[in-house]
């Protein structure tokens, strides 16, 4: 799964195999979701043996799985071949089956309210390690749904790590899962979330991919954002919003701004008005997220009445806004919490 389709074709050509074998293997992995070379029954036995000697299909080992009480959220801690661990989350909504994937082992950003950064940064994930998180849940879901429905409807790059600091692998994973010959998940079914890496936003605007972009803003001014998101010192809000405006102009696509509400930090009416003033003329949507409590961190979500007041003030000022439904709080579904506990 680290190979692009063209690279798989080239490899098989070097092995003296006809080019159509690449399509057969691609279908087995991404359409039939097989995890075993021997089940690829339309391939010659010798080719299956050679593939088995040269490649892995499964490299992620589930170490721990937690399921929410209502059955709508499942979180898995995976061990990689080198012993590192990552988290992925499967979320079941009324019409959507969403996988939240990680792009790095740990995270170098160090946001003060996020558990992932507290465990440090180890390395970038390979394209196949990102893809395999999706296929793991796709295989599990297909057992329940059969072949009549797509097992996964959405993929969000909102797990451990900053996708734009592992840009090439992230984009390759999207293009592979989007490929009509295989998994065939529509481009608009992907959401890439960035903490505000300006060069990454500009690169994505040039990709020609119709994916959704989410920007983790979390503050209406640099003073607060410097405390919450250290990278703001390199990409302050004004510079970030200029890149966002350029992205909208280039793609004609709406941006979602994610805003984690933290009690006594960024959650009063004045902050809501300041945020509305920043975003008032942009093609955008605000996603309000009450903070997930983290053991050992003093920050907490605001009381419900203050969350609702913040939301209502944004609506009054003409900002498109939704309040994210909390899922999986009982299984530490917040990013990085399960891995941090295991470490």
Which residues does the annotation mark as catalytic? 87, 335
Residue in the structure block whose two tokens are 């190979």 = 3
Nearest alpha carbon to residue 81 among 120, 44, 126: 126
Question: How far apart (Å, rounded) are the C-alpha atoms in residues 162 and 173?
Answer: 14
Q: What is the DSSP secondary structure assignment for residue 181, as one 8-state letter?
A: T
Concatenating the DSSP letter of every residue in 223-261 gives: HHHHHH-GGGGTS-HHHHHHHHHHHHHHH--PEEEEEEE
Calpha distance 301→334 (Å, rounded): 13
76 backbone φψ class: left, alpha, beta (φ>0; ψ -120 to 50): beta
227 class by beta-carbon count within 10 Å (0-12 exposed, 13-18 middle, 19+ buried): middle
Q: Strands, DSSP E only, in 80-182?
A: 85-92, 97-100, 104-106, 121-124, 154-157
């Amino acid at each position: 799964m680290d190979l692009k389709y063209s690279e798989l074709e080239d490899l098989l050509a070097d092995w003296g195999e006809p080019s159509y074998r690449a399509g057969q293997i691609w279908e087995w992995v991404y359409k039939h979701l097989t995890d075993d070379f021997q089940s690829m029954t339309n391939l010659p036995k010798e080719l299956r043996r050679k593939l088995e000697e040269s490649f892995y299909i499964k490299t992620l080992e589930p170490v721990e799985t937690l399921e929410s009480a209502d059955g709508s959220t499942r979180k898995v801690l995976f061990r990689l071949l080198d012993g590192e661990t990552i988290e992925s989350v499967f979320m079941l909504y009324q019409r959507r089956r969403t996988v939240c994937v990680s792009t790095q082992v740990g995270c170098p950003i160090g946001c003060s309210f996020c558990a992932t950064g507290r465990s440090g940064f180890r390395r970038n994930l390979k394209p196949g390690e990102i893809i395999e998180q999706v296929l793991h849940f796709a295989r599990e879901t297909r057992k329940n749904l059969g072949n009549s429905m797509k097992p996964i409807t959405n993929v969000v790059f909102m797990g451990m790590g900053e996708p734009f600091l592992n840009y090439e692998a992230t984009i390759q994973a999207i293009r592979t899962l989007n490929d009509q010959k295989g998994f065939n998940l529509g481009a608009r079914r992907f959401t890439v979330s960035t903490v505000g890496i300006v060069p990454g936003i500009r690169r994505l605007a040039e990709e020609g991919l119709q994916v959704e972009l989410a920007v983790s803003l979390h503050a209406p001014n640099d003073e607060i954002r410097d405390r919450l998101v250290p990278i703001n010192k390199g990409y302050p809000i004004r510079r970030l919003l200029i890149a966002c405006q350029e992205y909208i102009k280039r793609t004609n696509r709406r941006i979602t701004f994610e805003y984690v509400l933290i009690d006594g930090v960024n959650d009063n009416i004045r902050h809501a008005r300041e945020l509305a003033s920043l975003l008032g003329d942009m093609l955008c949507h605000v996603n309000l997220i009450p903070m997930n409590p983290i053991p050992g961190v003093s920050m907490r979500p605001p009381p419900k009445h203050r969350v609702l007041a913040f939301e209502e003030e944004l609506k009054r000022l003409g900002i498109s806004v939704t309040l994210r439904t909390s899922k999986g709080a009982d299984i530490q579904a917040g990013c990085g919490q399960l891995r941090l506990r295991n470490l």
